[in-house]
Amino acid sequence: MHSDRRRHDIANLLTPRCEGFGTPLPSESGDPPPPLPLPVHPKASKIRDA
């Protein structure tokens, strides 16, 4: 059950929706927070492997 919930969270992050609320975030901050979604990819891969 916990795994399913975590997978759903990852799926939401991997979905294009992340770009919707993820793009305005860095724009407002003015800093290049592109490394945030980057580490999410490798992490999701590791969780999927488990």
Give the chain's mean pLDDT.
Answer: 57
Write down the pLDDT at residue 12. Answer: 65
Share of the chain above pLDDT 70, in %: 2
Q: pLDDT per residue over 5-21, tens digit each?
A: 777 676 666 655 545 45
43 Cβ contact partners less than 8 Å away, ≥ 6 residues apart: 10
Write down the pLDDT at residue 18. Answer: 46
pTM exceeds 0.85: no
DSSP category for residue 32: -
Per-residue tokens: 17: 């929706």
Write down the pLDDT at residue 9. Answer: 73
